Amino acid sequence: MRKTTVASLVCVTIAAFLAGCATAPKGPTDGEMVMKRVEEMVAAAKEKNYAAFDTLVSGNFSSSAVGDKVALLDLMHTADGMGLADDFEVDLSQAKTVVTGDKCTVGPITASANIGSITVTGYGVKEKGVWMIVGGEPE
């Protein structure tokens, strides 16, 4: 009886483990990958690493406030050169990520520097399997 009970417990434990493995997520969700990209963008901007920032922004970037990708990077360089981006901070504490297929929105994102602050909603798309920033609009 004791051997049967132990064998049953071992079988139940193995079955539970295998069931857990079968239902475990296979890596990060799209929402997690999007937030990771946003955090990478923030880190690159804070470090003034424009080459890294450039790799996170789609060539299709467009914003009514900034223009295209080239205008965005020019604005960042100009603001940095004039000292307007000193003490740059970004608040993601209220940001919500919504993923719909290969598109996403993240917001509100509040950015501030010694020149002032702005709250935006960011937009992204999955290009060749990688989430890229394609826009941002002020709220």
Return the pLDDT at 85.
Answer: 82
Cβ proximity of 15 and 68 under 8 Å: no
If you classify domain 28-138 with CATH, what class do you get?
alpha beta
Return the pLDDT at 20.
Answer: 40
Return the pLDDT at 25.
Answer: 58
CA-atom Rg of the chain in angstroms: 22
User: Structure pTM?
Assistant: 0.77
Rounded distance, CA 119 to CA 72, Å? Answer: 16
Listed as ranges, residues in the chain with pLDDT below 50 are 1-23
Instruction: Sketch the domain layout of the chain as residue ranges.
Output: 28-138
